[in-house]
Amino acid sequence: MSEKEDSATRIRQAAVEILLEVGVRAATTRMVTERAGVGRGLLNHYFRWSELRAEAWGEIFDRLIEQDAEQALGPEALMENYLRAAFDQSNRIYWFLWLDATDLAKTDAALAVVITRVQSRMLEQMAGYLRQGAEQGLWQASDPDGIALRLSALYDGLANMLLTDSTDLSAEQAEQHLRHLFFLETRLT
């Protein structure tokens, strides 16, 4: 790897680490350059800040999507993992990153592009699990794309409620609401 590639890689990796630590809004170029051990001029040479932040955010969620895809599990186990882990406290940083980025994307075109790409991948992946389960007779899914979208929308709303403590909703209750929608949508057998 050339010195140029090494510097760009260190900057990219530092951006991912900083986002995971402080979130999208709080992350700064200074934090990233200090973590990467480079000057701000070098960061600006390789990246525009909004594009680097968007790329780092996308990398975080691409890794999550790929982790799910790498599991050699059937659709029933994959959906159970999704429902069980959705509101696990260890995933709280991902809820925060997702909601923060979707809010910022209203004025940040680079982030909007990456969010659209990642969300499409996530919805396609879930719709694929739903299709496979229907094909195997595990549940019904006449509209897997619609079901995936509705599950995702409920997930986002419940995660937001948990993050903001706007209700007395517990993580267990949030999981039950998500499971209930899955049951209603698929008439799980």
Judge whether residue 1 has pLDDT over 70: no
- pLDDT for 155-187, tens place per residue? 999 999 999 877 899 999 999 999 999 999 998
CB 183 within 8 A of CB 140: no
Mean pLDDT of 71-82: 90
Judge whether residue 96 has pLDDT over 80: yes
User: Mean pLDDT, the chain, as a whole number?
Assistant: 93
Mean pLDDT of 87-93: 93
Kind and range of the H or E run holding 60: helix 49-70
Q: What are phi and psi of 143, to 5 degrees?
A: -135, 70
Q: What pLDDT score was predicted for residue 3? A: 61
92 dihedral zone (left: phi>0; alpha: psi -120 to 50; beta): alpha
Kind and range of the H or E run holding 138: none
Share of the chain above pLDDT 90, in %: 88
Cα 100 to Cα 98: distance, rounded to the nearest angstrom: 6
Q: What pLDDT score was predicted for residue 71? A: 76
Both tokens of 152, joined, read 């995702």
- pLDDT for 112-139, tens place per residue? 999 999 999 999 999 999 999 999 999 9
Q: What pLDDT score was predicted for residue 107? A: 96
**Whole-Å CA distances, 81 to 85, 90, 126, 129, 136:** 6, 14, 12, 12, 18
Band (pLDDT 50/70/90 cuts) for residue 2 is low
Q: How far is CA 46 from the centre of its chain?
A: 25
Q: How far is CA 145 from the centre of its chain?
A: 18
* Higher pLDDT, residue 153 or 1: 153
Q: What pLDDT score was predicted for residue 167? A: 82
- pLDDT for 25-73, tens place per residue? 999 999 999 999 999 999 999 999 999 999 999 999 999 999 877 777 8
Cα 184 to Cα 70: distance, rounded to the nearest angstrom: 28
Cα 55 to Cα 18: distance, rounded to the nearest angstrom: 13
Q: How many CA atoms lie within 13 A of 148 on its CB side?
A: 18
